Amino acid sequence: MAEWREKLSAEERDTLRRTAMPDWTAPMLATLTKKRFSSPDWIYERKLDGERCLAFRSGKKTRLLSRNQRDLRDTYPELVDALDTRVPSGIIVDGEIVAFDGNVTSFSRLQQRIGLTDPEQARTSGVKVYLYLFDLLHLDGYDVTGLPLRTRKSLLRRCVDFGGPLRYTAHRNESGEDYHAAACKKGWEGVIAKRADSAYVHHRSTDWLKFKCVNQQELVIGGYTDPQGSRIGFGALLLGYYEDDELCYAGKVGTGFDDELLERLGEKLESLERQGCPFAQAPENAGKGTHWVTPKLVGEIAFTEWTSDNRLRHPRFLGLRRDKPARKVVREEPA
């Protein structure tokens, strides 16, 4: 790869910055939109439902970090092995860790790996994981985030030996609307539209847009209700999001749990119990049988729509997220 700079245009070479590899760099985030469009100036990638990560290869050392800088080495040791052998030193790559249920990425299935911190237990869990790489941030002593996206993806494909659990995130050109329609028919979460000549920035941007097939977002757990009948653990979770530094109530979710998750999550909730309601306004009908918790846990929730009074309709719990701090959870509004 020593000759990669010579193959760039003069304009592209001007965007390169010689720099030491950073210990951390924030990932670029996409903006939700209701618009669907096709354009030769954009590319379209499959939206993967997993755990976002950045991989740092320096010397013989590999670091695999979530978007809130959690060390993922022990949870996904086979991915670290693949990065050690298939990715050159002096590189930062961006991607998504996924598990599959059939041909569809499943965050619920990935949950069985997310909670593991013992490498051997992770390897023998029976949940196969893959790392889909879609961007390149640092290469051979240079910050390459100023290069156009198409160029970064071309370099990524050339410098990584894709195979095993390492996968290249392919894209389509121009046909955004058709790709979105096909994605929804296949049961995918959606499509990410990316401006083809865009630089990589370390914040949310409208140069990356989410075309979703289903409504899904992170929400903070602020309380729970007692279980009824033969149910164990808890009955429903009380959910919210932050707005102007206040936790706003968004409704309850009582589906999407099996007995193992009810028991395990119920123990976590008990350890976080507190006296006062964490929501800016106490939920309606919150009385006997309602327990408040310190709002630290974040859940991934699927739902059909937001109601006119800012409540979730038909919510379903998909799993706990550990890659986003609770205080960063806001209601995701389409651009």
Q: What are the φ and ψ backbone dihedral angles of 201, each rounded to 5 degrees?
A: -115, 160
Count of Cβ atoms closer than 10 Å to residue 308 Cβ:
6
Catalytic residues: 47
DSSP per position, 160-177: S--BTTEEE--EEEE-HH
CB 45 within 8 A of CB 87: no
- Which of 31, 102, 100, 78 shows the shortest CA–CA distance to 334? 31
Phi-psi region of 251 (alpha: psi -120 to 50; beta: other; left: phi over 0): left
Give the span between the Cα atoms of 281 and 290, in whole angstroms: 15
Q: Write b or e for each residue in 89-101: b if 16 or more Cβ atoms lie within 10 A of its Cβ, otherwise e.
A: ebbbbbbbbbbee
Helices of type H across 41-188: 77-86, 107-114, 119-123, 149-159, 176-185
Distance of CA 20 to the CA centre of its chain: 27
Sign of torsion over alpha carbons 63, 65, 71, 77: negative
Give the span between the Cα atoms of 235 and 291, in whole angstroms: 11
Q: What are the φ and ψ backbone dihedral angles of 190, each rounded to 5 degrees?
A: 155, -155
CB 71 within 8 A of CB 23: no
Amino acid making up residue 248: C
